[in-house]
Amino acid sequence: QVQLVESGGALAQPGGSLRLSCEGSGSDFRLYAMGWYRRVAGKERELVAVISNRFGAKYENFVSGRFAISKDDSKNTVYLQMDNLEPEDTAVYYCNGPLIRDSGGDYYPLYDHWGPGTQVTVSS
């Protein structure tokens, strides 16, 4: 069973930056794609970014070059650097993995398990 723990969420001002971390156990991050998701209040959870050693990084359109996903396989940790934050980025952020990539290049969680998430609030 994969265990994932997110951290790094905080209150940030518009235009500010945050770096989220996700530390995992029970799985080897080198072997799988890992992703960051978010749930805005009142909406469905949505994918933000994915990273895999084979296919690199992939971002949803709303990221618009503001976020960067990375991972340190030696630490089994995935990061999400978020710059130029907007109030619309306010959400609970979750990581998940392993992710499965389909023939169309879309990713889906292999397991429907989620960590507690970390709250990001962007407000002046």
Mean per-residue pLDDT of the chain: 93
Six token digits for residue 55: 């296919």
Q: What's at 25, amino acid-wise?
A: S
Predicted local confidence at residue 71, as pLDDT: 93
Residue 25 scores a pLDDT above 90: no
- pLDDT-based confidence at residue 7 (cuts at 50, 70, 90): very high
Residue 2 scores a pLDDT above 80: no
Q: For a pLDDT cut of 70, what percent of the chain falls above it?
A: 98
Predicted local confidence at residue 24, as pLDDT: 87
